[in-house]
């Protein structure tokens, strides 16, 4: 196990990068704590694999250093970094038995036979592979083969970290959640540093203690699932995490009031719990609020809005409303009264965030600073 420090790491696939747009990974300073369970979450093409390959040594970063437990490993190849990897698709030997496959990473490192047998038995038990240890891998289903790949990743107790690159892609949906919670349990047991790449928020939030969210080559927030929900540091985090994601709308802010852009004056002001004295001149100012904190049917107390659509999704309804030309999603309880196409909407001031050029601005409690 190791503490992995990315010290000013950045990477461009171009030999002559001209600016930030040419970097697949923008400058990153981050420490992956020893024994932590991390998820690397972001949409396709945001740079997750590039970052993972830099940690494993498949890519040498254009800038910066990688330091494992105080030792600079930037120039070391993958084999010398003591990293285990599990990929999207099974990497196993069809001609070997399940036990031989599991033992392979240990035998490769000349671990004593007794220790190999013990570790293989332990890992097989963790992954419910004990009954098929003597079977050849050929002919097993993709699910089982991927479980063996996971086992090969977990079998060495001395690795600096285990890197998982979308490991559940080939797994049948009903097995997915089982394996996901299994991995979490294994992390608790083994206390290894694990970094798990995914574009699926459920996978990231259930597996990780800390989620690293990437967007366009940049790490835009690192936080616990609660932090990402309660205080999205970037509009992308708000939008990407949550279902539906955070509402984001352009506004102007004056004191403890915001006004939706495009709205004429009067009656449509949104009350804020904080003031924002430091808002940069010329920045794009947006308001963000999660649908959970938008209340429809606030008779007499809210902003006038038009109901566009109501989707009943079981225990609650998702209501789409038009608020002065901006569409907002609201989560309404089953029993909330929504009649006709007119309603009033209340945005909970305590859960409104203000963003300047997509980044969250920490306000000052209203009354304290203005």
Q: Which residues are at the interface with ligand ATP (CB under 6 A)?
A: 13, 24, 42, 44-50, 199
Q: How far is the CB of 9 from ligand ATP (least distance, A)?
A: 13
**Closer to ligand ATP at the Cβ: 194 or 289?**
194
Which one, 42 or 223, has the nearer CB to ligand ATP? 42
C-beta closer to ligand ATP: residue 162 or 319: 162
Minimum CB separation from ligand ATP for residue 199, in Å?
5
Nearest-approach distance from CB 326 to ligand ATP, in angstroms? 30
Return the number of the residue (215 or 328) whose C-beta is nearest ligand ATP: 215
Nearer to ligand ATP, 16 or 335 (CB): 16
Q: Which is nearer to ligand ATP, 30 or 231 (CB)?
A: 30
Minimum Å gap between C-beta 235 and ligand ATP is 19
Task: State in angstroms the smallest separation of the CB of 56 from ligand ATP.
Answer: 13
Minimum CB separation of residue 216 from ligand ATP in Å reads 9
> Is cis: bond before 244, omega within 30 of 0?
yes
CA distance 112 to 313: 56
């Amino acid at each position: 196990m190791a503490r992995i420090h990315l010290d000013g790491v950045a990477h461009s696939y171009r030999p002559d990068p001209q600016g930030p747009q040419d970097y697949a990974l923008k400058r990153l300073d981050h420490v992956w704590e020893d024994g932590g369970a991390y998820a690397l979450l972001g949409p396709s093409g945001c740079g997750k694999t590039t970052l993972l390959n830099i940690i494993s040594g498949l890519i040498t970063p254009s800038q910066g250093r990688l330091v494992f437990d105080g030792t600079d490993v930037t120039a070391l190849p993958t084999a010398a970094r003591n990293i285990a990897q599990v990929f999207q698709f099974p990497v196993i030997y069809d001609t070997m038995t399940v036990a031989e496959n599991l033992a392979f990473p240990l035998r490769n490192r000349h671990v004593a036979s007794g220790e190999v047998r013990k570790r293989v038995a332990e890992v097989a038990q963790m992954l419910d592979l004990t009954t098929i240890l003597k079977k050849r891998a050929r002919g097993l289903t993709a699910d089982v083969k991927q479980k063996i790949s996971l086992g090969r990743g977990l079998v060495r107790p001395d690795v600096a970290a285990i890197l998982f690159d979308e490991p559940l892609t080939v797994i049948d949906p009903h097995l997915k959640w089982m394996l996901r919670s299994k991995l979490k349990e294994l992390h608790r047991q083994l206390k290894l540093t694990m970094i798990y790449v995914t574009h699926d928020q459920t996978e990231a939030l259930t597996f990780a203690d800390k989620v690293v969210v990437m967007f366009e080559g940049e790490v835009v927030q690192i936080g616990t699932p609660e932090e990402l929900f309660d205080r999205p540091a970037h509009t992308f985090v708000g939008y990407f995490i949550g279902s539906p994601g955070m509402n984001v709308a352009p506004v102007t802010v004056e004191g403890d009031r915001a006004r939706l852009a495009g709205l004429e004056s009067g009656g449509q002001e949104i009350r804020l719990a904080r003031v924002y004295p430091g808002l940069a001149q010329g920045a794009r100012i947006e308001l963000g609020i999660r649908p959970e904190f938008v209340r429809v049917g606030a008779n007499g107390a809210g902003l006038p809005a038009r109901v566009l659509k109501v989707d009943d999704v079981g225990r609650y309804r998702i209501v789409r409303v038009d608020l002065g030309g901006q569409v907002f999603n609201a989560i309404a309880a089953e029993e909330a009264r929504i009649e006709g196409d007119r309603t009033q909407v209340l945005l909970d001031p305590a859960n409104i965030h203000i963003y300047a050029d997509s980044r969250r601005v920490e306000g000052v409690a209203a009354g304290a600073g203005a």
